[in-house]
Amino acid sequence: MKSFKSIFLLAILSISIFFISSITSSCKKENKAPEIAILEPSNNDTITISSDPELHVEFTVSDDDALHYLAVKIKGASTTYFADTTTSVHDLKSYNYHEHYTFTGITALTPVTVEISAEDHEEATTTKNIQVYVRP
C-alpha cells in the first residue's frame, strides 16, 4: 500500500512538472533580430559625383521589442571610411533613416560598401552590406 501511494504521488508530481514547464516554455518569446528594409541605394549602383555628388542612403529598421543601436558605415578600400555614424534609436520599435553623403578625394571608379548594423536590447544583431561604385 505504501509503495502504491509513493508511485501515485510520484506520477502526480511528474505530471505537474510537465504541465508547469510546458506553460512557462510557451510563454517565452523567441527574440528576432532587427529587420532592415533598404530603399536606397541598390546593390551595384554607380554614383557619378560630377553630376550628382550625393549618395542617398534610405532604409527602415524595426524590431518587435525595441532597438538599442544603429550604425551606418560607408567604407572604401582597406581601412578608408567616408562615414562612420551612429544614430539614437534607443527603445524605438521602428526608425526611418534618410541621409545624404558626399565624397571627396575620388579620382577613379571606386568601390564603396554601405554597411548598416542594428542591434536590439537582447543583443540580436542584423548587418546588411550594399556594394556601390563612385565615379568622379
Looking at the predicted structure, is the pLDDT value of residue 114 above 80? yes
> Cα–Cα distances in Å, from 43 out to 23, 87, 130?
45, 23, 5
- pLDDT band, very low/low/confident/very high, at 4 (cuts 50, 70, 90): low
The answer to whether 45 and 113 are in contact (CB under 8 A) is no
User: Is residue 120 within 8 Å of residue 66, measured between CB atoms?
Assistant: yes
This model's pTM is above 0.95:
no
Q: Give the integer Cα–Cα distance in Å for 47 and 40.
A: 12
- The count of other CB atoms within 10 Å of the CB of residue 61 is 26
pLDDT tens by residue, 84-109: 999 999 999 999 999 999 988 889 99
Instruction: Tell me which of 51 and 126 has the higher pLDDT.
Output: 126
Q: Per-domain residue ranges for the chain?
A: 1-30, 35-135
Q: Is the pLDDT of residue 51 over 60?
A: yes
CATH of 35-135, one of 2.40.110.10, 3.30.465.10, 2.60.40.420, 2.60.40.2550: 2.60.40.2550
What Rg, from alpha-carbon coordinates, does the chain have? 25
User: For 28-54, what is the mean pLDDT?
Assistant: 89
